[in-house]
């Protein structure tokens, strides 16, 4: 069996951190494989676009947001590990593996194809201008990514992506592009990414096994997203691969190496899903009551401020249409997201979770970083839809560690503080079940 080392990447990370982590983790491997889901054949790209156009548009809109994040963090429009691995590998081979989520969805047959075209026709009928504009933006993003991957042109690609992002913001602000359509496409694309995680794990490991057999590699290092690592550890032996090391990156700081033979971090320390559903539901209810008071206070204050400023139901502010509903209602969405992101990022607990003795942890057992909490809060809307928390409850009930969709995407797990037990490994890492003091803080004071 070929030895496999899994490097769990944060795609928007600092290049120097990625290079340092990768150099120490994979110093003695024979070759590298990297998650790089691109279309080598333009004809396959066109076929996938025509088969599932709504999915294609949504994925490219989501890609535009990712591009903005990449540009801010490491001044490029592609994930940081693509350039980092070239510097670390030296003379060792680097192979691209994976298949694009769009191609996997396009291969799912006529139900997906007919459904996509039905949605597209509906969008064209009800809002042709927004549909045409967002399709054009998706095409620009796709072409920009392809040019960057195929020919380089880093700075021209950055400039073009910046123009596309600025144009998107201007079109939304001026009302030409419907914000709800844009948000729906992004959420739908996030669901598609989640649905295709398992199939992509299988594709990547199959390709890695093929590379090992063809080139007779004794040990490879696979660079892939952190969300893929747990699933790969489970199915790698079926493909003749022995996972000998697992590395999880952290944002802007050195990551940690885990023991791949150890029990799943969530198992045994997190109470099973059925045992936590009641406590989590009550904690969510407490949070909603608390947020309800905050939102009502905000609406009152905003109403006073808007009335004092003399704004009617619609007014012109810096040449853009701003109405009373936008001023008062939009923060109603932002306040809950900020509430969960800030409190869970700082303390691992919201008001409700603290009252019910719950805490959010990373899957590797460490406290949440602000970025983990922000991702969990952002994807929390997936669990809320389409019916109030039904999707999240079903996802938590069917998972051994009680993880809802946002937990799975963010790599987190909710544990009961009363059931935790302190355990520090030889490498200094702590299990998910870290004990807490009576005041709700960790034993190390966090």
Q: What is the DSSP string of 112-176?
A: HHHHHHHHHHHHHHH-HHHHHHHHHHHHHHHHHHHHHHHH--HHHHHHHHHHHHHHHHHHHHHTS
Please give the pLDDT value at position 310: 57
Query: Given a cut of 60, is residue 117 above it in pLDDT?
Result: yes
- What are the phi and psi torsion angles at 109 (to 5°)? 100, -175
- Comparing 268 with 79, which gets the higher pLDDT? 79
CB atoms within 10 A of CB 280: 22
Query: Given a cut of 70, is residue 311 above it in pLDDT?
Result: no
16-44 per-position pLDDT tens digit: 999 999 999 998 999 999 998 888 788 88
* C-alpha to C-alpha distance for 30 and 374, rounded to whole angstroms: 37
Measured CA to CA in angstroms, residue 279 lies from 343, 349, 446 at distances of 18, 13, 23
Please give the pLDDT value at position 268: 36
* C-alpha to C-alpha distance for 418 and 356, rounded to whole angstroms: 10
Residue 234: is it exposed, middle or buried by C-beta count within 10 angstroms (0-12/13-18/19+)? exposed
Please give the pLDDT value at position 306: 59
392-405 per-position pLDDT tens digit: 777 777 676 778 87
* C-alpha to C-alpha distance for 5 and 218, rounded to whole angstroms: 11
- What are the phi and psi torsion angles at 367 (to 5°)? -60, 155
Those residues whose C-beta lies under 8 Å from the C-beta of residue 49, and which sit 6 or more positions away, are: 56, 102
Nearest of 143, 37, 30, 25 to residue 84 by alpha carbon: 25
Query: Given a cut of 70, is residue 93 above it in pLDDT?
Result: yes
CB atoms within 10 A of CB 274: 10
Q: What is the DSSP string of 288-342?
A: HHHHHHHHHHHHHHHHHHHHHTT--SEEEETTEEEEHHHHHHHHHHHHHHHHHHH
Mean pLDDT of the chain: 79
* C-alpha to C-alpha distance for 210 and 239, rounded to whole angstroms: 9
- Average pLDDT of 330-342? 78
- Comparing 393 with 422, which gets the higher pLDDT? 393
Helix (H, G, I), strand (E, B) or coil at 8: strand
* C-alpha to C-alpha distance for 364 and 257, rounded to whole angstroms: 10
Please give the pLDDT value at position 305: 63
Band the pLDDT of 264: cuts 50, 70, 90: very low
């Amino acid at each position: 069996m070929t030895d496999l080392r899994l490097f769990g990447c944060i795609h928007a990370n600092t290049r120097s951190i990625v290079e340092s982590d990768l150099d120490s983790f994979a110093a003695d491997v024979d070759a590298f494989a990297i998650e790089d889901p691109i279309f080598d054949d333009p004809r396959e790209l066109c076929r996938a676009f025509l088969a599932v156009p709504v999915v294609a548009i949504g994925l490219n809109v989501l890609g535009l947001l990712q591009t903005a994040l990449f540009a801010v963090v490491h001044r490029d429009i592609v994930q940081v590990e693509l350039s980092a691995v070239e510097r670390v590998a030296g003379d060792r081979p680097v192979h691209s593996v994976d298949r694009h989520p769009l191609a996997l969805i396009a291969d799912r047959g006529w139900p997906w194809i007919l459904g996509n075209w039905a949605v597209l026709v509906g969008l064209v009928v009800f809002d042709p201008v927004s549909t045409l504009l967002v399709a054009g933006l998706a095409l620009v993003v796709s072409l920009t990514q392809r040019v960057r991957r195929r020919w380089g042109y880093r700075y021209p690609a950055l400039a073009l992506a910046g123009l596309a992002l600025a144009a998107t913001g201007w079109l939304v602000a001026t009302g030409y592009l419907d914000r709800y359509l844009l948000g729906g496409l992004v959420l739908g694309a996030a669901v598609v990414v989640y649905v295709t995680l398992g199939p992509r794990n299988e594709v990547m490991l199959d390709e890695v096994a093929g590379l090992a057999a063809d080139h007779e590699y004794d040990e490879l290092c696979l660079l892939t997203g952190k969300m893929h690592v747990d699933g790969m550890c489970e199915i790698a032996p079926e493909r003749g691969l022995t996972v000998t090391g697992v590395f999880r990156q952290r944002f802007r700081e050195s990551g940690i190496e885990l023991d791949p033979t150890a029990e799943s971090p969530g198992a045994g320390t997190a109470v099973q899903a059925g045992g936590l559903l009641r406590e989590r539901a009550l904690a969510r209810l407490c949070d909603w009551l608390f947020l309800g008071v905050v939102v009502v206070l905000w609406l009152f204050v905003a109403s006073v401020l808007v009335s004092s400023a003399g704004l009617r139901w619609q007014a012109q502010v810096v040449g853009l249409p701003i109405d009373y509903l936008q001023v008062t209602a939009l923060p109603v969405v932002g306040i809950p997201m900020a509430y969960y992101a800030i409190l869970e990022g700082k303390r691992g607990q919201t008001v409700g979770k603290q009252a019910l003795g719950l805490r959010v942890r990373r899957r590797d057992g460490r406290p949440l970083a602000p970025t983990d909490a922000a991702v969990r809060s952002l994807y929390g809307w997936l669990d809320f839809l389409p019916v109030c928390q039904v999707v999240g409850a079903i996802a938590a009930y069917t998972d051994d560690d009680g993880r809802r969709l946002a937990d799975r995407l963010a790599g987190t797990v909710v544990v009961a503080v009363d059931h935790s037990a302190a355990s520090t490994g030889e490498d200094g890492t702590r299990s998910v079940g870290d004990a807490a003091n009576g005041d709700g803080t960790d034993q190390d004071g966090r």
